[in-house]
Amino acid sequence: MVSGQPSSSLIHIAKDAYGDTFRTDLLEQYKLYVQSAENISARRVASNNYLLTLNTALFALYGLQSAGFDENYWALSVPLIGLLVSLLWFLIIKSHADLNRVKFKLIHKMEQHLPAAPYKCEWRLAEGGKGKVYRAVTTLERWIPLLFALLHAGLAIIIILETAGVSK
């Protein structure tokens, strides 16, 4: 490190140049940043709840619609919308996971300038979310929209076969 230069790309002002409140201010920024990472997780849960409800409503709509329509072409719109919603859901989960991954890399970098590094240690003990100790929630969570997509695709196939007269 060159004298007076910050030690990483994260810290853009050297401690000497910043002044006496460097550690206090860094700790405050760290707390705020950890909170922002937690907010991403809360938004992901809210998105999941909304999209789960939407998928469930689409199945209920199909049930109501199929009782009232003779033309299955309209009925086909429900599982097609469901497939799009499931794809969107999968992409939203991926987006939240990608953002959280970046946020925690930054948290780990900030921890290099603090006395303790609890998040980095926790992640190491959790074997990076790939071990026996802990499996990353996102890995499991991605299966839900995929399962809904399979259900919607199956429903679409049944509707197409019924429309073509195969099952009659």
CA dist 152 and 138 (Å) reads 22
Say if CB 107 and CB 34 are below 8 A apart.
yes
Mean pLDDT of 65-94: 83
Give CA–CA dist 52/29, Å, rounded.
35
Q: How confident is the model at residue 138 (pLDDT cuts 50, 70, 90)?
A: confident
Q: Is the pLDDT of residue 3 over 70?
A: no
pLDDT in tens, 6-33: 555 888 888 888 889 988 999 999 999 9
Q: What is the rounded distance in angstroms from the CA atom of residue 137 to the CA atom of residue 89?
A: 15
At 111-126, the pLDDT tens digits run 988 888 898 988 888 8
Is the pLDDT at 74 greater than 90? The verdict is: no
Radius of gyration of the chain from Cα atoms?
A: 24
Q: What is the pLDDT of residue 66?
A: 66
Using pLDDT thresholds of 50, 70 and 90, give the confidence band for residue 133.
Answer: confident
Higher pLDDT: 33 or 74? It is: 33
Task: Give the model's confidence band at 4: pLDDT under 50 very low, under 70 low, under 90 confident, else very high.
Answer: low
Say yes or no to pLDDT of 147 above 80: yes
Q: With 90 as the cut, is the pLDDT of residue 150 above it?
A: yes
pLDDT digit string (tens) for 47-66? Answer: 999 999 999 998 888 877 76
% of the chain exceeding 90 in pLDDT:
44
Average pLDDT taken over every residue of the chain: 85
| Distance from C-alpha of 94 to C-alpha of 111, rounded to nearest angstrom | 26
Secondary structure letter of residue 70 according to DSSP? S
Q: In the chain, pLDDT over 70 holds for what percent of residues? A: 89
For the chain, give every domain's residue range: 21-163
